[in-house]
Amino acid sequence: MSFASLNLIPELLRAVEDQGYTEPSPIQAKAIPPILERRDIMGCAQTGTGKTAGFTLPLLQLLAPNASSSPSPARHPVRALVLTPTRELAAQVEEAVRAYGKYLPLRTAVVYGGIDIKPQIKALHAGVEIVVATPGRLLDHLQQKSINLSRVEILVLDEADRMLDMGFMPDIKRILAVLPPTRQNLLFSATFSDEIKRLADQFMHSPTMIEVARRNAPAELVSHLVYEVPAVRKHALLAHLVRSRDMQQVLVFVRMKRDANRLARLLEQDGLAATAIHSDRTQGERMQALEEFKQGKMKLLVATDIAARGLDIDQLPFVINYELPHTPEDYVHRIGRTGRAGTPGEAISLVCPDEMEYLASIEKLLKRQIPRATAPGFEREDRDQRRTGAHEQPREHRGRDAGRPPREREHREKPHAPRAPAAPAAVTGHGHFDFSKPYEPAVKDTTAPAPEHTPAAHRRKLTRPTAALLGPRPKPEE
């Protein structure tokens, strides 16, 4: 099977060739023909399957015949709308649209919250055929009348299940209400829950169902490993694993955004280059963190589930679950960040006794037991330690030794005079990081958004209780 056999136009074939793709992925082979026939489709596919090109290529082809090279904005109405749950995914989809559409005179714009709305308004006023948007900011544009969706021919809901999880249903309904009733609808979702089916029933017309296995099924390319470790030793074990295995690029998952910041800070204090990505960070900060991680400037990227959705990081070798997610599906999403594009990946989970039930439900979903590993010095918290708190490292053991097993530390430290305590903020007298204290950045945050950059969702909260773009529902991340 080749891209040419899918009847793609030469401009798209050239763009695909430039990307270095030799053959369509299964979702592309299945989705492109019915989309070109202008059918509605429901695609069950996760990130990593090539679904973006699966809908972007035929979408561009359908719009191409009426593409205009006229500079007049009136000749460039919005004809395709792609909705995504997160800013990162919106940015990635727009990048894909630009890459695949580079030989076509079609214009594209991306619209999401957390950044100044004015340049977006300017871009929309200039006229664009394809708009990639997160729902909240798109509604702001509709309210301000900076976008006209009356000529939309194709609607794409990307990662629809995530949008629903994040509480975007009311926003999606508002957007559907302003679209022309006759249009093509494409919906992509990693799962087809009853809620997704209900949503589809509301606006799709006898959709073609397309289902593909993950391009890299977790079972094939990702090896799973569990370290059973007391909660208080997790950070030290994480640092130890990174050092002892010389890990160069690790995506670390925590459940709550405040812990993402704190863990990143803690790792930095230990001398490991780490940064955090979560929904409270400005768009600029998130993009910068991601870029630094991709370029290898940061070894560790600490992320929450929401912030990591849709992240496309080529050849990410390690995902470490610092905390297990509370739903096994999120585990599958998390580990889907590694083992991509045919390269093997490793998913390591640090599991404390309180999390054993989550581990059990993950193993049930995977239909197998995850192998257990032990790291000398981190196996378990013995009773005496628990009573006296002796397991917590003394302050002078913090800094670059925090990740080393106790014995190795002792061996290294004996000949030396004790070092001065690092005494970082929010570290308790026992040297154990205190997650209950407010996080205070060491450096003043000069990139905080100016008032006019205030995320749209936060402003909207005042007027309507719909999903917020940056912190949609407090549950998963708060």
Asked whether 159 and 117 are in contact (CB, 8 A), the reply is no
Among 24, 34, 345, 455, binds ligand AMP (CB under 6 A): 24
Could you tell me the strand order of the sheet in which 222-228 lies?
274-277, 300-303, 250-253, 318-321, 345-351, 222-228, 372-373
> What one-character DSSP code corresponds to residue 214?
-
For residue 47, state whether it binds ligand AMP (rule: CB under 6 A): yes
> What one-character DSSP code corresponds to residue 433?
B
Using the minimum distance from each CB to ligand AMP, give the nearer residue, 54 or 230.
54
Q: Which stretch binds ligand AMP (CB under 6 A): 20-28, 108-116, 182-190, 383-391?
A: 20-28
Q: How far is the CB of 472 from ligand AMP (least distance, A)?
A: 21
Q: How far is the CB of 110 from ligand AMP (least distance, A)?
A: 16
For residue 216, state whether it binds ligand AMP (rule: CB under 6 A): no
Q: Which stretch binds ligand AMP (CB under 6 A): 44-52, 135-143, 396-404, 466-474?
A: 44-52
Residues between 407 and 466 that touch ligand AMP (CB under 6 A): none
For residue 48, state whether it binds ligand AMP (rule: CB under 6 A): yes
The residue count for binding ligand AMP (CB under 6 A) is 12
Q: Which stretch binds ligand AMP (CB under 6 A): 50-58, 64-72, 136-144, 398-406?
A: 50-58
Q: Which stretch binds ligand AMP (CB under 6 A): 7-15, 41-49, 328-336, 446-454?
A: 41-49
For residue 101, state whether it binds ligand AMP (rule: CB under 6 A): no
Using the minimum distance from each CB to ligand AMP, give the nearer residue, 47 or 184.
47
C-alpha 304/C-alpha 325 separation (Å) is 10
C-alpha 201/C-alpha 382 separation (Å) is 56
Query: From residue 177, how far is each of 144, 161, 332, 387, 429 by CA, in Å?
Result: 17, 20, 34, 61, 58
Asked whether 134 and 90 are in contact (CB, 8 A), the reply is yes
Asked whether 163 and 191 are in contact (CB, 8 A), the reply is no
95-123: b (≥16 Cβ within 10 Å) or e: ebbbebbebbebbbbbbbbbbebeebbeb
For residue 21, state whether it binds ligand AMP (rule: CB under 6 A): yes
Asked whether 82 and 133 are in contact (CB, 8 A), the reply is yes
For residue 51, state whether it binds ligand AMP (rule: CB under 6 A): yes
For residue 49, state whether it binds ligand AMP (rule: CB under 6 A): yes
Asked whether 114 and 282 are in contact (CB, 8 A), the reply is yes
Residues between 264 and 323 that touch ligand AMP (CB under 6 A): 312
Among 26, 34, 43, 50, binds ligand AMP (CB under 6 A): 50
The tokens 């082979």 sit on which residue?
Answer: 29
Burial of 8 (0-12, 13-18, 19+ CB in 10 A): buried
For residue 25, state whether it binds ligand AMP (rule: CB under 6 A): yes
For residue 53, state whether it binds ligand AMP (rule: CB under 6 A): yes
For residue 189, state whether it binds ligand AMP (rule: CB under 6 A): no
Asked whether 55 and 150 are in contact (CB, 8 A), the reply is no
Using the minimum distance from each CB to ligand AMP, give the nearer residue, 21 or 103.
21
Q: Which stretch binds ligand AMP (CB under 6 A): 21-29, 183-191, 246-254, 283-291?
A: 21-29
Q: Which stretch binds ligand AMP (CB under 6 A): 49-57, 144-152, 164-172, 234-242?
A: 49-57
The candidate with the shortest Cα–Cα distance to 34, out of 153, 268, 243, 209, is: 209
Contact positions vs ligand AMP (CB under 6 A): 21, 24-25, 28, 47-53, 312
